[in-house]
Amino acid sequence: MNLMGLQGGQYCPLSPEQIQIIHKTSLKILEKTGITYENGLDDTIKLLEENGAEIDRGKKKSQNVTGIDHRTGGKNT
In a domain, 37, yes or no: yes
C-beta of residue 56 within 8 angstroms of C-beta of residue 66: no
* Residue span of the structural domain in which 32 resides: 16-69
In a domain, 6, yes or no: no
pLDDT in tens, the chain (77 residues): 566 666 777 778 899 999 999 998 988 888 788 777 787 888 888 888 888 778 887 777 776 665 555 554 455 44
In a domain, 39, yes or no: yes
Query: Collapsing DSSP states into helix, strand and coil, what is residue 2?
Result: coil
In a domain, 41, yes or no: yes
Domain count, the chain: 1
For residue 63, which of 38, 35, 37, 43 has the smallest C-alpha distance?
Answer: 35
CA distance 26 to 22: 6
In a domain, 10, yes or no: no
In a domain, 58, yes or no: yes
